[in-house]
Structure 1
Amino acid sequence: MEDILTRVLCLTDPRFVCSITITSQMFNRAAGYDLVWNTFLPPNFRQLIEGLPNADHLLTLPRKTLFLYLTENPVCINDRNVAQKILLNRNTGHIAYFYAGTSINVSWFDEVIMDGTHQRESSISTPIRPLWFPRCMDLINPLWLQLNALINPVLLSRNCNYTVRFIFRMLPEFMGQNDAPDQVLCNIRIGGRPVSARLVYFRSNNAVGPGVNEQLPHDDDYWASYVEELEPHGWLEANIGEFYLDNDDRGNVHISIRDMTAANWKGFIQVAGIECIPSD
């Protein structure tokens, strides 16, 4: 009976398994078996944690303990010199992913180079989410720019819907337009296949803040949205698209953010990174 129960629990999710532990001793025993929790861990969990200094110790833990550890402790991964973090969702086991702003590829379209450099790294004194890195990228005086991020699909969950968010803020030196939202085109491709296109509008006047309450410009070709403000410290969050990753997807997830406005100095934009959050 207990063997049958264990196999049934493998077909559920972590939240349900944890909820039945108080039902009876038999349920409690079945809910703790490694066989159950192996189904909730990513299939490549050994590969994901192999770079951790305590990886050998983690692999000796009961699988339930390891699962809970990975829901509370983000794993830093340096893949192809790209700084990334992952964290398991406690309810589903799906991977939440963060691509560091310092690793985002920046393409510049400026013909005029201002004094100094166009980008630099700086510190985030108070990261407000556990996936964030303590350093971010400052974009200085761009006219037009394009940001690109390539994500290895082995760092994401299969058969999972993801919402993609661009996290940034405008520094006090910001110099963009004050009379209209800046227009940014966000594209997501998987292995070259387009899966999402979205226009994002945000105001450049810090006194006014993002144009959440403004009339959203209408465009029949794209889904459009404004940014939302995160508290504290002026961070902004732009929902730049969604995608579904299935078992047949083999190519990289390519995220691009391209300025669509006329040439005007954007001033100082600080980029924390790109989040891919399971929406199931």
Structure 2
Amino acid sequence: MDITIEAVLPEECISAIISSTSPPDACRCSLLSRIFRSAAGSDLVWERFLPPDYQQIISQSESSVSSLLNVLPKKDIYFHLCRNPILIGNGNTSFAIDKWSGKKCYMLGARELCVIWGHDARYWKWVSSAESPVFAQSRFSEVAHLLHVCWLLIGRRIETNILSPNTRYGAYFVYTLVGDHFNGFDRPVKVSIKFENENEGNATNDAYLLPDTPGGQNGQVPRRREDMWLEVEIGDFFNGQVDRVVDMQLGETRVLNGKSGLVVHGIELRPKE
């Protein structure tokens, strides 16, 4: 007589076993049988896959969003956060999770970045994303539109304790260029990422911002995202168990040619495959 695992183990034990795997494995297990589908969809499993402090992070979002998420099953919370980044804090930072691993993803909106001369209306214009149909839809209320500079420098420092530990992260500059009105980006810009007060990762590389830059260049080339913004990689780093500060920068301060038409959405940090 054949004896199945469902007949030997209670559903709670099956859930405990599945919770030690991964989100993709849990989804595969749900196809095996009715018992496995129930076990794989349980709160016990998906609570394990969510970041340990996800409830604290959700509480920093708008009350309507927080109230909605808190009543959902854990599996639904997981996939909601995969597909729908939520705004937290002052609304200039978004939080999501990587659908394959459950690791944290953050995007720092333009208002959260250090933009040289960003508060000088002669050089930069802060534009309401809702009132700017020429731009790709932004998740933030404002984007930064470059009018004209010769010295371009955009960056941000963050503490790595907000990220998932033991994870390699990539930092990506998210932007677009306005129609035929951009100028000065036929040359690469410089990108760098490093830990503060350490030499690790202290390398400066070339990055191209023009969307039609062919591959094979000696530097990072941009790609079009699903949300229609462009992104180019600033660099990557491994976030271990020790809390550190990582410094990310993008700029062009040597050629000093006139630059215009850049629209800054933000910098996104997400796990690398």
* TM-score, reference length from structure 1: 0.77
Residue 103 of structure 1 aligns to which amino acid in structure 2?
E
Is residue 2:171 matched to residue 1:169?
Answer: no
| CA distance in structure 1 between the partners assigned to 2:239 and 2:226 by the alignment | 30
CA RMSD for the aligned pairs? Answer: 3.0
Could you say what secondary structure the match of 2:92 adopts?
Answer: strand
| CA distance in structure 2 between the partners assigned to 1:66 and 1:243 by the alignment | 28
Question: Can you give the 5+ residue segments of structure 1 that lack an aligned partner in the other structure?
Answer: 218-223
Contact 1:183 1:260 in 2 (8 A): no
Mapping of residues 45-64 of structure 1, within 5 Å: 45-51=54-60, 52-54=62-64, 55-64=66-75
Mapping of residues 212-227 of structure 1, within 5 Å: 212=214, 216-217=217-218, 224-227=219-222
Summarize the Cα distance change of 1:203–1:167 in structure 2 as closer, same or farther, 3 Å threshold: closer
Cα deviation, residue 85, structure 1 = 0.8
| CA distance in structure 2 between the partners assigned to 1:5 and 1:50 by the alignment | 31
Give the corresponding residue for 2:150: 143
Give the aligned length. Answer: 256
Is residue 2:244 matched to residue 1:251?
Answer: yes
Give the corresponding residue for 2:193: 188
Give the corresponding residue for 1:220: none
Cα deviation, residue 126, structure 1 = 7.1
Could you say what secondary structure the match of 1:182 adopts?
Answer: coil
Q: 1:62-93 CA deviation, whole Å, 9 max, x = no partner? A: 22222222223211012xx5711122222321
Mapping of residues 199-214 of structure 1, within 5 Å: 199-202=205-208, 210-212=212-214
* TM-score, reference length from structure 2: 0.79
Summarize the Cα distance change of 1:228–1:212 in structure 2 as closer, same or farther, 3 Å threshold: farther
Q: 1:8-45 CA deviation, whole Å, 9 max, x = no partner? A: 21221112112211312332232133221111111111
Contact 2:174 2:231 in 1 (8 A): yes
Give the corresponding residue for 1:38: 47
Give the corresponding residue for 1:98: 107
Residue 269 of structure 1 aligns to which amino acid in structure 2?
L
Cα deviation, residue 60, structure 1 = 3.6
Residue 95 of structure 1 aligns to which amino acid in structure 2?
K
Give the corresponding residue for 1:240: 234
Give the corresponding residue for 2:258: 265
Q: 1:175-230 CA deviation, whole Å, 9 max, x = no partner? A: 326xxx423221212454343634234377xxxx64325x735xxxxxx2233456
Is residue 2:85 matched to residue 1:74?
Answer: yes
Structure with more strand by fraction: 1
| CA distance in structure 1 between the partners assigned to 2:187 and 2:223 by the alignment | 14
Could you say what secondary structure the match of 2:17 adopts?
Answer: helix
